[in-house]
Chains A and B, each alone.
Chain A
């Protein structure tokens, strides 16, 4: 996508020659890509093509799994400074809240709705107690969830519907003020209506963040994405701009590539 995006835009994430393997088996083979702030990039591909592993390389979550190995350069622009996230000692917790992640299924903390946001604010940012409610409310509003939960902030988070839970996970991220959002099939576990709401939210978020999303759905990519990477067997086989995605004649080849 780098070549097809506007030339004047500097990327915020630059991946070069990324290799990731588990227990000696390589999953990503020398992948390179660039991502920009204010744009939503979508990663498409079959199951097992390395999409999730790629996302998890960006916040070093692969290291939470046994015998993972990562090589290559992965540079991220955080707060105006370029950081090689595998090299110059950005502390892991800081990297992970600046590069926030939403999973395929809502990964809630088994706590109340409010506490799901408050606990990370308290533990990670060390925010004083009195600042937490305002920050929580702001994040819930940003995630289009405030109206639905403002009267039951102390209810357990798991009573929310799937779509609400997923937006709660997004709100939890946004409260930590990340700069890059990693979304691993955020609508995969949702029904059509709930998925539409999350999509709406993503469109409103992409203005201010660098958004990198994994998806299974070509139509979703056509609705949301400014650029797309097609993954196959741990390599990028095609890079598409928004115009490419909208073009009608590309559909058959794309379907072939992805499914």
Chain B
């Protein structure tokens, strides 16, 4: 009986893995088959000369270049806001918060994690309306507002990952530095954070991925279908997820729909590139940490 159960569990586990792999491959294959044919300079720049478009001298119509730039800016800005805040909150929860306060703060983070992205978008929209009516009549939805709302959306991933990784480090690692006479801050910066960098990086990757794909938040806070390159963080912008949504709902023929698939593939590639960037950053951090050459 027991033997059969074990076998059954094994088969089920294998099937589950196979199913997940199959879905991922099917999904990628589908995107490639439908979208790859649209890959050319026209997809990015329409009929605008490439260098003029990249330099921003001529506007791009019917190309996804402004949306690519918008998405990269958006993700970088949102990560730049969320990563320091999230990591700092995680450190606070893991090492400094105590008792009831820690429970309440932890609960608040959980609530934040449960807020649907459309609500975060509404919050941003309401915030701008409020500012417009009170102290800043010129305020408008823009790249910065979207980035702030996205940062709020991804903050819980960063906090959770930082907190759980720091809390799972062995006690002896914490005591080693402290017993030598490191201040708590030196111990955090030079011993604990580097040791936790792998876990924190997982949080960063989750956050970047989430920030790159979210459509609901930016829909209400500043993205538009045709803005060209954003001229600043207080400007309206284009973004890839919204562009995909737009193409999918407004496509008038097969060719336009195919562009949607091509755009989705580009979004996937950009996210992958951001992940690779994060990995590279992490490996240089840990490398310089492992092999500091003070003796040379």
- Partner-B contacts on A (CB < 8 A): 59, 61, 64, 66, 92-97, 100-101, 103, 105, 107-112, 114-115, 118-120, 122-124, 129, 132-133, 136, 153-154, 156, 172-173, 176
A110 and B178 alpha carbons, distance in the complex (Å): 14
Other-chain contact of B181, A103, A120, A122 (Cβ < 8 Å): A120
Which of B72-80, B182-190, B221-229 lies at the binding interface? B182-190
Give the Cβ gap from B35 to chain A, nearest Cβ, in Å: 44
Q: For A108, list chain B residues within 8 Å (CB).
A: 176
B168-206 to A contact mask, C-beta < 8 Å, 1/0? 000011111111111100100011001100000000000
Determine if A107 and B179 form an interchain contact, defined as CB atoms under 8 angstroms apart: yes
Nearest residue, chain B, Cβ from A125: B181
Decide yes or no: A129 and B181 within 8 Å by CB, A64-B174, A105-B172, A107-B176 being known contacts: no
Determine if B172 and A103 form an interchain contact, defined as CB atoms under 8 angstroms apart: yes
Among A59, A107, A108, A124, the one with the most B-chain Cβ atoms within 10 Å of its Cβ is A107
Determine if A107 and B172 form an interchain contact, defined as CB atoms under 8 angstroms apart: yes
Other-chain contact of B291, A100, A109, A119, A154 (Cβ < 8 Å): A154
Q: Which 3 A-B pairs have the closest CB atoms?
A: A97-B181, A107-B176, A96-B181
Determine if A107 and B190 form an interchain contact, defined as CB atoms under 8 angstroms apart: no
Determine if B182 and A123 form an interchain contact, defined as CB atoms under 8 angstroms apart: yes
A136 and B294 alpha carbons, distance in the complex (Å): 11
Nearest residue, chain B, Cβ from A137: B295
Other-chain contact of A59, B179, B195, B289, B293 (Cβ < 8 Å): B179
A203 and B229 alpha carbons, distance in the complex (Å): 74
Decide yes or no: A129 and B179 within 8 Å by CB, A105-B172, A123-B190 being known contacts: no
Give the Cβ gap from A130 to chain B, nearest Cβ, in Å: 10
Other-chain contact of B176, A92, A109, A115 (Cβ < 8 Å): A109
Q: List 28 A-B contacts (CB under 8 A).
A: A59-B179, A64-B174, A95-B181, A96-B178, A96-B180, A97-B180, A97-B181, A103-B175, A103-B179, A107-B172, A107-B173, A107-B179, A110-B191, A110-B195, A112-B290, A114-B295, A118-B294, A118-B295, A119-B190, A119-B294, A120-B181, A120-B182, A123-B182, A124-B181, A133-B295, A153-B295, A156-B290, A173-B180
Give the Cβ gap from A114 to chain B, nearest Cβ, in Å: 5
Q: For A110, list chain B residues within 8 Å (CB).
A: 173, 191, 194-195, 290
A122 and B294 alpha carbons, distance in the complex (Å): 9
Would you call the interface of chain A mostly helix, strand, loop, or mixed? helix
Other-chain contact of A107, B175, B182, B292 (Cβ < 8 Å): B175
- A-B pairs with CB below 8 Å: how many? 84
Decide yes or no: A120 and B180 within 8 Å by CB, A64-B174, A107-B172, A109-B191 being known contacts: yes
- Partner-A contacts on B (CB < 8 A): 98, 172-183, 186, 190-191, 194-195, 289-295
Give the Cβ gap from B66 to chain A, nearest Cβ, in Å: 45
Give the Cβ gap from A151 to chain B, nearest Cβ, in Å: 13
A95 and B183 alpha carbons, distance in the complex (Å): 11
Decide yes or no: A172 and B180 within 8 Å by CB, A103-B175, A107-B175, A119-B190 being known contacts: yes
Would you call the interface of chain B mostly helix, strand, loop, or mixed? helix
Determine if A115 and B292 form an interchain contact, defined as CB atoms under 8 angstroms apart: yes
Q: For A119, list chain B residues within 8 Å (CB).
A: 190, 292, 294
Q: For B181, list chain A residues within 8 Å (CB).
A: 92-97, 120, 124, 176
Q: For B183, list chain A residues within 8 Å (CB).
A: 92-93
A97 and B173 alpha carbons, distance in the complex (Å): 17
Determine if A112 and B292 form an interchain contact, defined as CB atoms under 8 angstroms apart: yes
Decide yes or no: A114 and B294 within 8 Å by CB, A94-B181, A119-B190, A124-B182 being known contacts: yes
Give the Cβ gap from A66 to chain B, nearest Cβ, in Å: 8
Determine if B294 and A96 form an interchain contact, defined as CB atoms under 8 angstroms apart: no
Determine if B291 and A176 form an interchain contact, defined as CB atoms under 8 angstroms apart: no
Q: For A101, list chain B residues within 8 Å (CB).
A: 179
Q: For B191, list chain A residues within 8 Å (CB).
A: 109-110
Q: For A114, list chain B residues within 8 Å (CB).
A: 294-295
Nearest residue, chain B, Cβ from A104: B172
A107 and B175 alpha carbons, distance in the complex (Å): 8
Q: A110-B191, A110-B194, A173-B180 are in contact. List 18 more A-B contacts (CB 8 A).
A: A64-B175, A92-B181, A92-B183, A93-B182, A96-B179, A103-B176, A107-B179, A109-B173, A109-B176, A109-B177, A110-B290, A112-B290, A115-B294, A122-B294, A124-B181, A132-B294, A154-B293, A154-B295
Q: For A66, list chain B residues within 8 Å (CB).
A: 98
Give the Cβ gap from B72 to chain A, nearest Cβ, in Å: 34
Determine if A64 and B195 form an interchain contact, defined as CB atoms under 8 angstroms apart: no
Nearest residue, chain A, Cβ from B178: A64
Q: For A123, list chain B residues within 8 Å (CB).
A: 182, 186, 190
Nearest residue, chain A, Cβ from B194: A110
